[in-house]
Amino acid sequence: MPQVTEQQILDALRVVQDPDLHRDIVSLGFVKDIKICGGAVAFTIELTTPACPVKDLLREQAYAAVSAVPGVEQLKIEMTAQVRGEQRTGPLIPGVKHVIAVASGKGGVGKSTVSCNLAVALKLAGAKVGLLDADIYGPTIPIMMGAGEEQPLYDGQKMYPVMRHGIGIMSIGFFLEEGKAVVWRGPMIGKALTQFLGDVAWGDLDYLIVDLPPGTGDASMSLAQLIPLTGVVIVMTPQEVAQQIANKSIAMFQMLEQTLNRPIPILGIVENMSGFINPATGEEIPVFGKGGGRRAAAQLNVPFLGSVPIDPVISESGDAGCPAILIDPHSAQAEAFRAIAGQVAARVSTLAHQGVK
């Protein structure tokens, strides 16, 4: 039997392409720790996100490629991930690699629901995730994450995020008296956000998800001003009018981009409440129409990240403080949220790779 060499393994792996980065995994530096012992070969493929949607495909392709090398009798491939983008978010939150804002033109479209499930999906994939509720007018994250009764700890210097479902959470909701409304003016919003970023011990995070208030307001502006955003996820419902509203939110971020002279990439559009699947027949009833999100994405030339069906489980689980994705991992909605998280993570990886911020 010929002795297998490291070079042969690397050469074989050059046929495996990362479909998002359009390069082979060897030149991307993903292949690590090659160990050869006679006919037994082991190595690690280190991806740029644990939520990589093509993880299994890459593993299969690598397996096939290396199995075909003469002399390879046994093969073990370990898949790991290291999110790239270190220290890009600036001095306010030095341990956070990527800030992903979730926005919508209007309230009630499921922005907070998407934020929670996106955060949990990324966490379940193995990423370190934080969730900031920047919806100062209607903070719902504490309740949706089952932390409504909690108070963040304060050690005299820093506030500590409340941990739920493996995710560090911060929200103005933790500090409000129940039933009391708060009147916020622009500068106050900026100040509150500055504190929620700089005075909170977020620690090392791959992704900080920020649930923005609806509309085109001060919070979005303050956030984008305070820290470089890796990108924005726009949530909309499928109706025709929703398209115009999505259009407006995207236009606002484009304007902000120009004002701040800093890229604010739109990661894409999520269509929420896109049809109700009749549990008896499996037939889909398009309650609010269908395909609006995809059409809006095409029209605005931004990626379409996926759609989430209407399901009473989603609102019940939100009210109960346990995001739908955790209730039944095999449900259509869990599948949808995982797919969306994969798309978001892949887009973030691509942007980090291109050096776009």
Ligand X SMILES: Nc1ncnc2c1ncn2[C@@H]1O[C@H](COP(=O)(O)OP(=O)(O)O)[C@@H](O)[C@H]1O
Of 131-139, 178-186, 293-301, 337-345, the window that binds Mg ion (rule: CB under 5 A) is: 131-139
Task: Tell me how far apart the alpha carbons of residues 331 and 154 are, in angstroms, rounded to a whole number.
Answer: 39
Cβ proximity to ligand X: between 49 and 113 the closer is 113
Residue 258's contacts (CB-CB under 8 Å, 6 or more residues apart) are: none
Is residue 112 a contact residue for Mg ion (CB under 5 A)? yes
Q: Which two tokens stand for residue 241?
A: 């009018």
In whole angstroms, the minimum distance from the beta carbon of 138 to Mg ion comes to 6
Which own/partner pairs from 73-76 qualify as long-range (CB within 8 Å, at least 24 positions apart)?
73/38, 73/39, 73/40, 74/39, 74/40, 74/41, 75/40, 75/41, 75/42, 76/40, 76/41, 76/42, 76/43
In whole angstroms, the minimum distance from the beta carbon of 218 to Mg ion comes to 16
Residue 216 bridge partners (DSSP): none
- Write out the binding residues for ligand X, residues 119-158 only, by CB under 6 A: 140
Is residue 220 a contact residue for Mg ion (CB under 5 A)? no
- Under DSSP, is residue 307 helix (H, G, I), strand (E, B) or coil? strand
Among 125, 223, 273, 348, binds ligand X (CB under 6 A): 273
Cβ proximity to Mg ion: between 72 and 212 the closer is 212
Cβ proximity to ligand X: between 18 and 311 the closer is 311
* Burial class for 98, CB neighbours closer than 10 Å (0-12, 13-18, 19+): buried
Cβ proximity to ligand X: between 89 and 216 the closer is 216
In contact, 322 and 315? CB cutoff 8 Å: no
In whole angstroms, the minimum distance from the beta carbon of 310 to ligand X comes to 4
Task: Tell me how far apart the alpha carbons of residues 159 and 170 are, in angstroms, rounded to a whole number.
Answer: 9
Of 66-74, 93-101, 174-182, 309-317, the window that binds ligand X (rule: CB under 6 A) is: 309-317
Among 4, 62, 101, 111, binds ligand X (CB under 6 A): 111
Is residue 310 a contact residue for ligand X (CB under 6 A)? yes
User: Contact residues for Mg ion (CB under 5 A)?
Assistant: 111-112, 135, 140
